[in-house]
Amino acid sequence: MNKVMTRTVRRTPSHPPVRRDTRRPGSTPHRTTPGGGTPRTPLPLASTPTETRHPEPRVPAQGPRQGQHPEQHRTPTRPLQNPAQPRQAPSQLPQTLPQPQPTDLFADRLLAVLSGERPVHSMLRHTVGRAYDELARLAERGPLRTRGTRPVVRDVGYYEPSQGALEAFARIGAGDQLRAMAFRLELGRDFRWRCTAVELGGPRRPHTADD
């Protein structure tokens, strides 16, 4: 701020000062300081009052706080919550069901044809050689057709006479009677099992505790 001096230092006269009207420029007396001395002539007042300009106050710019980098942003006081994540699948995989034996599959297929539930030609692609003709001859008589009781396979067994061949037998339950069925399976070059022979035994009574 530039300071303009309008008054100079004066020596005090030997007699006390006399008050005058300061509003009148021409009536301003020479001030004397006590203690003696010749007063100095005051400088003439300027005709035009000096205009003092005060600088406009500067508005401080809103800068970063002390100790804070300009590029840094304020982090929220409360941590952000993670979005809902989908549930993870259990690490333990479900156990695969055991595949049925080919002897069990063919026992059910042959029973469906011999009981009249399925036609003979449904076994056309599952048989080779004379097995289809034997199955067609047995199905004509309907040996396993029963009234009111559906025949079921009670149990199945087999043995392997050679590699890629199975000799199987099954017991068929129809009411209070049991029938024996035998068939042979062979593994083809396409790794598919096919029936090559089928036989059906006569009716037998089920075994009792006395037998």
Q: How confident is the model over 153-201, as pLDDT tens digits?
A: 999 999 999 999 999 999 999 777 888 999 999 999 999 999 999 998 8
Instruction: Please report which confidence band the pLDDT of residue 1 belongs to, taking 50, 70 and 90 as the band edges.
Output: very low
Alpha carbon distance 123, 42 (integer Å): 140
The string over 90-115, giving b where at least 16 C-beta atoms fall within 10 Å of a residue's C-beta and e elsewhere, is eeeeeeeeeeeebbbebbebbbbbbb
List domains and CATH numbers for the chain: 102-204 (3.10.450.50)
Please report which confidence band the pLDDT of residue 211 belongs to, taking 50, 70 and 90 as the band edges.
very low
What confidence score (pLDDT) does residue 93 get? Answer: 53
- Bridge partners of residue 187, in order along the sequence: 193
155 in Cβ contact with 171 (< 8 Å): yes
Tokens of 175: 């009411």
- Tell me how far apart the alpha carbons of residues 73 and 81 are, in angstroms, rounded to a whole number: 19
The Cα–Cα gap between 152 and 173 comes to 5
How far the first Cα of the chain sits from its last, in Å, is 132
List pLDDT tens digits, range 33-91. 555 555 565 555 555 555 556 566 665 556 555 555 555 555 555 555 555 555 655 55
